[in-house]
Each structure stands twice: as C-alpha cells, then as structure tokens.
Structure 1
Amino acid sequence: MARTTRTAGTARPVSARAVAVAGAVVVLVAGLSACGASAGDDTEPDHRSFDLKGRTLTVDSDDSALEIVATDAAREGRVEVTRWFQGSVVVGKDPKVTWSVRDDRLVLRMKCSGIVADCSAKHRVEVPRGTTVKVEDGDGSVRARGFRDPLSIRTGDGSVRVTDTTGPVDLRTGDGSIRVADTTGPLSMRTGDGSVRADVSSRDVRTRTGDGSVRLELGVVPDRVESRSGDGSVTIALPEAAYRVTTETGDGGVEVSVPRDETSSHVVSAHTGDGKVTVRTVN
C-alpha cells in the first residue's frame, strides 16, 4: 500500500471547496459594503410633481413614513412628492417604486426584492393651502403640519404627529402614539395601543385609547372634552372656568380641582378602566 511522505516546509494543499467558500465570503462582504452603505444613505432623493384636479387629496401609502405639508409655497393645482430610500439592500436590485395620481388619489408603493436588510422609505408630500387631505398609511409614521382645512389620518401601525392646524383634525392609529400641538380646530384622536398627548387651543376635543395614558392641556375654555382609556391614566388641564365634570375609573384615584357647575355649558368627561383621573387648572 503506497504511503505519502510530507517533508518539512512543504505547504499543505488547499481544497477547491475551501477556495470556493473563501471567494463567496469575499463577494458577500463586498456586496454588504457596496450595496448596504449606498442604499441606506440616500443623499439624492427622487422627486415627482403631479396635477391636482380639485381641492381634495387622498394619500394612499402601503409602507412608508410620511410627512404631509400644506404650504403657501406650493403651486396651485400641483402636488410635490419627494422620496428618500431609508432601507438597505444586501443583494439584489434597487427597490421598485411606483407613484401616481388618479383623480384625487396619490398612490405610493415600493417593492423590494433580493436580500433586503430593511425596505423602507420616507415621502414628503407638499400641497397648496386650501387642500383637504386624507391619509391612509398601512404601516408607517405620519407627520402633518400647516393645514387650515380638514385633515384625516389613518395608519395601521405607526405614530402620528400633527402641528400648526386650524381646521378639523381626525387621527386614528392601530398601534402607535399620537402627539398634537398648536391646533385650534375640532380634534378627534384614537389609538388602539399608545399614549395620547395634546397641547392645543381647540374647543372640541375627543380622545380614546385602548391601552395608554392620555394627557391634554388646553389653551382656551372648551365647549366639550371627552377622554376614554381602557388602561392608563387620564390628565386634563383646563383654563380657569366652571365646568360640568364627569369622571370614572375602574381601578385608580380621581382628583378634580377645577370649579364645578352642573349647569355649565363647558362639559368635561374623563373615564379609564385602570388608572388615575385628574382634571385640574392649567398651571
């Protein structure tokens, strides 16, 4: 039987499999550094401009963070959209993006293929002041500001932030917090799971959360405030005035320090299944 003799200093042969594995690792690392870094830092966003036939617009997005802005700088009858890709593609093609306006509906879609570490984008939508906007976002946070006309936002999973509005505002999220500031129009807020915070001068405020605290601070004497939480504390801070107050909590204390008058036209209702209820004067 033949025997192989290895002499000192002779290099051990490298198998073809080891070479192939090493080569694959090099290629994958190169792909990670080349594709991931460039796709994850989008310094040159895409931009589109669309005709707006009327004074209403529905923004329909499947999975993107949205920023919706009403501004005097926007051209009359035009919608300006800017998109930043915020994810990272390891191996594969760039995301497939579609965006279009049909009638009064702006549809935003993005589809990633290959090996994707994160497939997400941010869209900024600018509309002329005087436009009524409805937002439908499947999964993503939404920010909006500058509206003087009705604004409605629905998102399945994501936080909602609204500032600087004077028209009616209606906000809904299945899972996410809601924050509102510098708003004077009627305000309605609902979240399935998340806290609600509002520092506003609205005369009609209604809020509901399945699981989360509620904190409202009003800059004017309201006509009506209604707040309900399934599980979480409720705090309402009001300007000096007499109020008709009703409170209820399944498990928690109640503290009402505002002047009370059962005949007052200023009605405040605060209810929670589990948590403290506080109705006080603004500090």
Structure 2
Amino acid sequence: MIISEALRQGTRLIKSSGSDEARLEAELLLMHALKTDRVHLYERLREEMPVRAGGYYRRLLDRRLAHEPTPYIVGHKEFFGLEFEVTRSALIPRPETETLVELAIGFSRDRYATGRCTIADVGAGSGVIAVALACELPNARVIATDVSKRALALARRNAARHGVAARIEFVEGDTLLPIEGRAEIIATNLPYVMTEDWLAAPPEIREREPRRALDGGADGLRYIRRLLRQAPEKLAGNGALFAEIGDRQGEIARSLAGECFPAAEVEVRPDLAGRDRVLCVYA
C-alpha cells in the first residue's frame, strides 16, 4: 500500500466514527507513525508505506476508533501558533480560547505602554493561555494557578518548551485564592459546560477528557460565579477580567459580573464563529 492510500483509508475510518476533521486527524496520525511533518508527508505520498510504520498507524487508528482523541494519541496540539504537549491531565486546547488570548493581549498593549503588568491565568490546565501570553507579552509577569498537581506539571513543561518558564509563577490552589496581591489582567478558561451537556457529550469528551476541567454544574457557571465573587479583591484598578463562557451563557454571565462589579464596563465578545464566548469586565 502506498502512503496516499493509507491516508485515504484512515480518513474514511475516522469519518465513519463521526469526526468533522477526519482528513486532518488521519494526517496527524500518519505523520506520527512516519515520524515526519506535513510537508514531507505530502512529498512521500507515492511511496510505499513502510511495514513497521504501517502497523503502528493501524494501531493508532484503532485507538482513535475507540474514541481516544487524536491530540492525546499523538501527545501534542497546536494553539495560538504554538505546539503544546497534551495529556489526559488537562483539557485539550480549543481554538475558541484563542479569542480570550487575543483580547487579553490587546488590552495589555492598549493599557500598559511598557507591557509591565501582572496577569493571572486561573485554572491553567496545560498552560496554553499562560504560555501564549508570556510569549506575546515579554514584559508581563504571569501567574498560573490550578487545583491539579499533574496539570501544573504539564503547564511547567510547556512553559519550558517555549522558553518562558522563568517568567511564569505556577501556584497550586482553587481559583484566585492562592494569588497574593492584585493582577492587572485575569484570564481564565474555567469549566463552563452544563452538567446535562457533559452527560450528552460524545465519548471522546465524556470518557476521555477530565470531567473536572469541563463540568461547570447545572448551569455551567459554578466556578465562574466563584471567580467573580473573589475578583473584586484580586483585580487591580483599571484592570480587566476575561473569562471564557458557553454560547448560551452570555446574558446571565453579564448579569453576574454586573453584581460583582457594579461600576465596571461589562460586555460579552463573540468567537470567530459569532457565538458568545468571552465575558469581559473592565474595572
């Protein structure tokens, strides 16, 4: 079998499992099996599939067909133009979260000419928000918190991978409680999936990703409420809070933020698909 046929077969099998990105996933698994990148993969499409790599590719496909997410299989995921290690210790990064990162970067650059500010990434998980912000804002001090030791270890590895480990403080603890002093920017992707939606989620999510990183309770806002109640004591004057939310939570999230920050400007910004995605509080 030539490599192009292996790619076609993999795409067909993954598509049959319900994936909307079957071709991309088949490419990632094939690149992993061949230990190559996309450019060299396409240069080799007419070559015969090596026997050992072919067997490994088949085993990778079997894992995917058993509902294991491709990023966990290959061990990495791209986010904000950066490659991150991913494990089952943390949520797989989603492109929607890039909207939150862009808003935080834009606010920092507009508000702080020197770029010197403190940013708190609450519920850091694999560290994608903290690392992306540290890479883009070299004068910022970043604090990353999480309740999971394993997630923080993963975040530290990702920070080291991108050369920003010395500029990120990793702190174990719940929401904003472990942070001393105030931060000019709070950026967070806390669990916000409603429990009923989590229970109805595909097995790739429900059975494979950590529930504690997704399930936000009956209305999905359990942890965001907690964060908003703590935030007035932790957000600096003229600072901003950016929290990722679900696309049906905009109105109630805006109302909750208004209760906690009655004098602040509060808005909900959409993601690239036009869905409500980021709660923004400008103190």
TM over 0.5: no
TM bucket (normalised to shorter chain) is under 0.3
RCO comparison, higher one (Cα < 8 Å, 6+): 2
Which has the larger share of strand? 1
Q: Which has the larger radius of gyration?
A: 1
